[in-house]
A and B are shown apart, each in its own frame.
Chain A
Amino acid sequence: MGVTGCPRNCAEVTVKDIGLVGQEGSWQIVVGGAAGKHVRKADLLITVNTTDEALEAAMLFFQYYRENGNYLERTYDFVERVGIEKIRKETVYAPAKQKKALLKRLQKAKALSKDAWLEREAPVNPTQFVQIQPIGTVIQ
Chain B
Amino acid sequence: MSWIRIANANAIPLREGRNVDLGDREIAIFNLGDRYAAIDAACPHRSGPLCDGIVTSNGAPSLAGGGVTGHAVVCPLHGWRIDLETGHVLKPEVPVKVNVYEVLVRDGIIEVEFPDDLENEKAA
Contact = CB atoms under 8 A, between A and B. Distances in A.
B21 A139 contact: no
B18 A135 contact: no
A95 interface: no
Looking at B6, B12, B109, the one whose CB has the most chain A CB atoms below 10 A away is B6
Looking at A125, A130, A135, A137, the one whose CB has the most chain B CB atoms below 10 A away is A135
A126 interface: yes
A127 B4 contact: no
B49 to A, nearest CB: 10
A97 B13 CA distance: 42
B6 A131 contact: no
A126 B21 contact: no
B58 interface: no
Given A125-B13, A127-B18, A136 B5 contact: yes
Interface of B: 2-7, 11-13, 18-24, 26, 29, 109, 111-112, 114
Interface of A: 124-127, 130-140
